[in-house]
Structure 1
Amino acid sequence: MGTFPSFKLTPSASMKACFIALTALLSAAGVPAQQLQYPEGAPIPRSLTPEEADYLARNPLTSGRSVTPPPTGPVHCVAEYEPMEGILIAWEGSNSWTTILANMGAEITTTGNAELYVAVDSSSEASSAESKLASHGAVMSRVHTMVVNTDTIWIRDYGPRYIYQGDVRCIVDHTYNRPRPNDNAFPTFFSGYKGHAFYEHQLVHGGGNYHLDALGNSFTTRLINNENSGLSEAQIHGIWQAYQNVDTHFFDPLPSSVDSTQHLDMWMQVASDDVVMISDWPAQQGSTQDQICDAAAVTMAAMGYTVHRIPARKVGSFFSTHYTYTNVVICNDLILIPSYRNSNVTQYNGQALAAWQAACPTKTVVQIDAEDIVSSAGVLHCIVMHVPEHLGGSNPTAYLIGPDGGEGYAHGEIVDIEWISDDDFGAVSADLLLSTDGGQSWPNTLATNLPASGSYAWTVPNLTTSQARVRVVVYDGQGNSGSDDSDADFSLFDPNGAALISYGSGKAGSLGVPVLSSQDLPILGSTVQLDLDQALPNGIAKLIRGPAKDSTPFDGAVILVAYDTIVDLNVDGSGHADMTGTVPNNPALAGVSFYWQAWIPNDPAAAGAGWACSQGLETRLGY
């Protein structure tokens, strides 16, 4: 694609150009910057327009939202070929574009066996969208219009990315790589609309530059490196690993003269755990784009994928158009693929259909005419986002974020119990229970009729046990319930009693996840030895200590200590290191805690930049 798409100016598109140009002129003249305007009906391209680029040169992108800590516990990032509840679209663009949406909506709500969530800017637009969808054959009981402002149709790039945290659907979001504020805000809206937990990482990104399988592999082009120039590739890898539990593989992008977005979805689609579709360029053999796709095919085959090649073509010179057949929508047993009317490309429509049918023989493959949108730098995949199925069927699901095991709490301490939930129609309330025998019985009710997702400030009672667990029970409006418990025991104790409390989780290296422990209670006046095991043999470990916990993402793991001290430990050939110290015999220190974690650099088996780490260890001084 060229750097600026060649679309026919309609009155609304002309208005849009005037708005953007005026904004640029005002900014150049020193007038305070205003947000760019995106009038309704304007065919805004997927790619960054020159006006937007000029605006960004003066007004760098900002999220407007704070980065959150990453999700904890078991996290699975959902692949597009996994079971889906629905598909998200934004009702934007010209009449020909909404006709494409309507054609897709009819297939999604019938053969695709899925709901269709439609973002509309007003109630009148909702009526218009519903009428058009109905006339094209959509099952209207499955169409859900949501009145919320969006700027453009390209919801793949700004829409919500889903994970499962435990059995609960959650959204992981990024800063959209366009100065389109309503689009960037949409995932927050949809989080509230569905009642789904929301996490935000720091990357500037467009979601079309990303694919993944259901086994923990993900893929992107190095456009992401350019968009986040202050981060190394290893750091970008670590952020996705921390928030989405994926191992990301990086490819070179196509030249911007071929594809102005440089997004992966324009030339690759992961179709199953072991099948991938990659573009081939029969009319441009030996071109840079052909070489990049050929190299990617070799890489994917080496990873164990069956690689199917599918035609692609660049048409035009200066204002070129990238015709792709990998930019598709997989929805349950349906695959929507583009077809085109351009005489240079029509010969490939049948070849692409046959390739998809051969690659996915159990699915129904349907062609959608995408000629009217392809010159704006994207087609079908670019204008949808996936909403995965709820895992509980008719019952709610819950995930107890904490306390989740290994913690220790003193009598009278205030503890935040935190949980999230999910349901097919929406959970409505939650109860909290306490066990003191490792989950064998639940005689203690801590609170009832709490929000379905939220937190509760619990004051620890005068109970002493090393086998405490919490259960959250979530209910929906029909009285169905689901629950989740602490994964392991935690302790309730006298605040002046010495204790060792493991918390958080580590990151694997050559011998697995390093373990920090002690056989000695930190009793005032005693000698205590800290032991590190399963570290990199004959390496160096960085033992950090501090007065408080922390939760800072780093290299795919989490720094668990607000540290003020670092001690180097020499690891022996078995992966063991230790350090001995004496606890001062000072009564004023009773109940004071110090926090520890070990980090091991340069471990060849550790993902990301090569750091492995232990869990955290709290040493509470006492008697």
Structure 2
Amino acid sequence: MKKLILLAVLLPVICVFAQNKAADPDLVKRTEEWFKNNPNSMPHWMTPDELERINEIGKGFIETQPPVGPVRQTAEFERMQSVLIRNPFGIPVDFIKQLSLVTDVVTIVATTNIRRTVINTYLSAGIDTSKCDFLLAPSDSYWTRDYGPWYVVDGNNTVGICDFIYNRPRPNDDDIPVQMAPFLNEPLYGMRVSHTGGNYMTDGMGISASTQIVYEESLSQLGVSAEEVDQKMNDYLGIHTYHVVQDPNDTYIDHIDCWGKFLDVDKILIREVPSSHPQYDEIEATAAYFASQISSYGNNYQLFRVNTPNNEPYTNSLILNDHVFVPIMGTAYDAAALAVYEAAMPGYTITGVLNNTATPWESTDALHCRTRGTIDKEMLNIYHVAQVLNKDSSGDYGINAKIVSYGSHTITSAQLIYKVNEGDWITLPMTLSKDNYTAVIPHQASGSQISYYIHAEDNSGRVENHPFIGQADPHRFTLTGGLEAPLNLTVTSSLNSALLDWDPVAGASVYRIYRSADPYSGFVFLNTSGTDSYTDTTVSAANKYFYYVTAGDTK
């Protein structure tokens, strides 16, 4: 049977090779070798046959209206109810068992007979099959990260799926988000952008990043311009700041997860190589770029580096609730890579994962590429712009959060837990006013460091913290003399922009602008300005916006 499948896959490819005289001989050889070892999955790259069928990408795709705003795309480091994988597998079965100990596992299978076979495999491996579910659908490959669904939350706090056009002519893979929508009983939205999940990371608060292929392929495959891509990202995903950069690795795949990863809203991991590495300058320039950018919390990104001297895929990891699974290679560099994650993500369980199967980890394809978290559709969400910048010590310190159950469950507890310097943790109840929970930390002496996190519970039994890991890695800010808040903020709106003006503040060299669709909560860092005005060009005439501005003496 295996040989028959191999012939069924290879024969059409061989015919195309014979017809396509211009096919790259190295690509032909690499593709033939792939199918000899992996007859049940397309490779990560486009085959010579697929390169001849690029015009099929997006064929039959139906773009829908965007979700009702304001829309928010969820991040990898939020609560997941399951993880999506595909059979035939691209990951070791013992790793699937590890996943099942953290959350449920959904496996894509082509037939009911295959489902029975997979269940038997799971039982033999000691996997609790009560934590396993199956999506019965055809697929072309095991890269569920690349073609799997993206999750969004609309203005009614309903979780849905945003489908994009997969940047490969693989109709079965491209259809998986469409199949997942009824499987999860979630609404489906279609965004006409050529994309792939391995080339995307987002912070859950309106900032995302990709390499340049999202622009290049959307234009060449669909005729969608870079400006149109940006607008669609805003309309369908709520992305107001999209960092699109050149791929510093300069590989065939051009995926961002081969060199970088958001670990949290204001934390980013980027690979590091020796100065003798051919891509050293490009990688360092990319690291410097992100280190200079402002996160949704208003601070510069905390930059973490992981040494990859032999192009190890250490950034190609999976964050799954309070666990992080890191691909390791069985070399002397593994321990240092795991130590970087432990330093960057205190409180998380960091686990190295070897892959000695016929589909080993590669520099351009590893653990993250072959898994995809499924957001908890009834998540207890704590939306909070963390206070991480220095604050004026002259008054009290209000902490605000919007706490919502996406499952419409009742919030039973909301607490602010804080400490001053190395003192004891103090718990304050948060009071609710117009969907906004607030607690006030009393005045403390200048020079004090405040550490805090928010804790919430609902009557479904869900318990969440912000930041996700809670007390092990709390938010922190330091009290200083500070600057006064800008006065007399005015907003002058036009069709597609809003002009903000305010009184200058003595000693201020930078102003930070925050925006929300709600006057009481949900404010997200938008941008900085070096003057006493700013023009917001990411607005829509159909929506209302609220702003506030802070002053600072450094960027």
Q: If the TM-score is normalised by the length of the shorter chain, which range does it land in?
A: 0.5 to 0.7
Shift of 1:374: 2.6
Contact 1:89–1:383 under 8 Å retained in 2: yes
Q: Which residue of 2 aligns with 1:262?
A: 254
SS in 2 for 1:208: helix
For 1:512 and 1:614, how far apart are their aligned partners in 2? 16
Q: Which residue, out of 265, 268, 271, partners 1:273?
A: 265
Shift of 1:154: 0.5
For 1:219 and 1:304, how far apart are their aligned partners in 2? 15
Shift of 1:107: 1.5
Shift of 1:51: 2.9
Q: Which residue of 2 aligns with 1:305?
A: 301
TM-score, normalized by length of structure 1? 0.56
For 2:490 and 2:10, how far apart are their aligned partners in 1? 59
Q: Which residue of 1 aligns with 2:42?
A: 44
Alpha-carbon deviations, 1:282-335, whole Å to 9, x = none?
374463543344334433478522111012245xxxxxxx43111111111111
Q: Which residue of 1 aligns with 2:493?
A: 514
1:515–1:270 Cα change, 3 Å: same
Contact 1:83–1:389 under 8 Å retained in 2: yes
Shift of 1:53: 1.4
Shift of 1:153: 0.2
Structure 1 window deviating more from structure 2 (281-290 vs 219-228): it is 281-290
Contact 2:212–2:247 under 8 Å retained in 1: no
Q: Which residue of 2 aligns with 1:199?
A: 189
SS in 2 for 1:390: coil
Letter in 2 for 1:353: L
Q: Which residue of 2 aligns with 1:542?
A: none
Q: Which residue of 2 aligns with 1:107?
A: 98
For 1:225 and 1:389, how far apart are their aligned partners in 2? 30
For 1:360 and 1:125, how far apart are their aligned partners in 2? 38
Q: Which residue of 1 aligns with 2:360?
A: 373
For 1:160 and 1:224, how far apart are their aligned partners in 2? 17
Shift of 1:122: 1.3
Larger radius of gyration: 1
Alignment of 1:316-395 (within 5 A): 322-341=311-330, 346-370=331-355, 372-375=359-362, 377-391=364-378
Q: Which residue of 2 aligns with 1:131?
A: 120
TM-score, normalized by length of structure 2? 0.62
Letter in 2 for 1:45: P
Q: Which residue of 2 aligns with 1:408?
A: none
1:71–1:43 Cα change, 3 Å: closer
For 1:232 and 1:262, how far apart are their aligned partners in 2? 19
For 1:612 and 1:190, how far apart are their aligned partners in 2? 30
Q: Which residue of 1 aligns with 2:513?
A: none
Contact 1:514–1:612 under 8 Å retained in 2: no
**Which runs of 5 or more structure 1 residues have no equivalent in the other structure?**
1-8, 29-37, 315-321, 394-420, 425-479, 481-509, 517-531, 539-602, 617-623
Letter in 2 for 1:44: M
Alpha-carbon deviations, 1:83-140, whole Å to 9, x = none?
11111111135xxx35x2x233212221x2x111110011222122222233334321
1:327–1:513 Cα change, 3 Å: farther
Alpha-carbon deviations, 1:322-366, whole Å to 9, x = none?
43111111111111110114xxxx122111111111111111111
Letter in 1 for 2:52: D
Contact 1:176–1:184 under 8 Å retained in 2: yes
2:240 paired with 1:247: yes
Alpha-carbon deviations, 1:183-242, whole Å to 9, x = none?
011111110111110000110111111101122211111111111223443321111011
For 1:122 and 1:364, how far apart are their aligned partners in 2? 35
Contact 1:251–1:296 under 8 Å retained in 2: no
Alpha-carbon deviations, 1:411-461, whole Å to 9, x = none?
xxxxxxxxxx9869xxxxxxxxxxxxxxxxxxxxxxxxxxxxxxxxxxxxx
Q: Which residue of 2 aligns with 1:85?
A: 81
For 2:122 and 2:536, how far apart are their aligned partners in 1? 50
Contact 1:336–1:368 under 8 Å retained in 2: yes
**Which runs of 5 or more structure 2 residues have no equivalent in the other structure?**
22-34, 381-404, 409-459, 461-488, 502-532, 545-555
Alignment of 1:426-505 (within 5 A): none
For 2:115 and 2:282, how far apart are their aligned partners in 1? 41
Shift of 1:23: 4.7
Letter in 2 for 1:291: E
Q: What percent of counterpart residues are identical?
A: 23
Q: Which residue, out of 197, 201, 206, partners 1:216?
A: 206
Length, aligned pairs only: 387
Shift of 1:82: 0.6
Contact 1:47–1:377 under 8 Å retained in 2: no
Q: Which residue of 2 aligns with 1:181?
A: 171
Shift of 1:43: 4.5
Contact 1:513–1:612 under 8 Å retained in 2: no
Q: Which residue of 2 aligns with 1:613?
A: 541
Contact 1:515–1:615 under 8 Å retained in 2: no
For 2:234 and 2:307, how far apart are their aligned partners in 1? 32
Shift of 1:280: 0.7
Q: Which residue of 2 aligns with 1:164?
A: 153
Contact 2:166–2:196 under 8 Å retained in 1: yes
